Amino acid sequence: MNTDPWTTGPRPENGTGPHEDLPEDPYGSPYGGPANAPQDGPEGDRVIRPYGDTTDDGMVQLSFTLPLPHGPRAEGAALQLARRMGMERPLVVHSKAVGGTDFSFFVVYGAVAHTVDLDRVVVAERDYPLLSAKEADAAVRDRLGRRLVVLGACIGTDAHTVGIDAILNIKGFAGEKGLEYYKQMRVLNLGAQVPVGELVRRAGAERADAVLVSQAVTQRDAHLTNVRELSAELRATFAEHERPLLVVGGPRFDPAAAAALGADRIFGRGTTPGDVASYLVHALVPSAFPVVPEAVLEDVG
């Protein structure tokens, strides 16, 4: 008998069978979610629920892989897992064997009673203004008096250079030119699979102001391990006032985890070259803000 505290009453361990143990939901949607349930508490409309078929029905879709051969037992296990995660009346809407192995992939659809309190949502917000290329160049030239040296690479075994190329290469990303376009930045893109020790050595040889690292390989948290190793080596090699800025990017990073990883800044999905350039100016150029409006910077060369 299943006595897991995250489920509502006993359920068969194989995840199959009737659902009489589920409480009757007066706000239930056809799939069992709390459709049109009232907003509880003083927050009012600051509390929201997931949306699937009807407003506030709480319906969500979950995908995962189990180390089981594809079949009824694997589907029962998928349903049990979904229930233990708090999903009510889950349905396996898609399943298949993974590459002919003893693994199965599932997509499960069901309702959750959990809500989101918008007043408690915490995000890492940009704390500096976005600059145009001309504004960034003018700030570096006039306030720093030399070009910024920016080193970029994918470290460890990571060979996915799309991210670092999008930020550094002149062709850029999302309609913005990469950092190679900036006249007051000297950019060196070291490419893929750069050993941490080699990147630290080059940072010293080039007297880099900033080291930009892109990580897309995340198996067994390799991206986290690599960044921690790089951060430790930079701090061991450079005096604190001489250490290059460590900027990290990749789709699986949490921007709020920079301090925990030893990075100065983490950028996630959708980051553009302008985001990174503006941060570098903010962090490395003394008194760079506020900047002169772009309209009076037409003569910047």
Q: Which two tokens stand for residue 299?
A: 């003569």
Residue 61: strand pairing partners: 109
Which residues fall within 8 angstroms of residue 220, CB to CB, at 6 or more apart? none
Which residues fall within 8 angstroms of residue 297, CB to CB, at 6 or more apart? 134, 135, 138
Alpha carbon 212 to chain centroid distance? 16
Q: Are strands 104-112 and 87-97 parallel, antiparallel or unpaired?
A: antiparallel
Around 122, how many Cα atoms within 13 Å sit in the side-chain half-sphere?
4
Cis amide leading into 10 (omega within 30): no
Q: Active site includes 177? A: no
Find the catalytic residue in 134, 171, 177, 183: 171
**Active-site residues: which are they?**
171
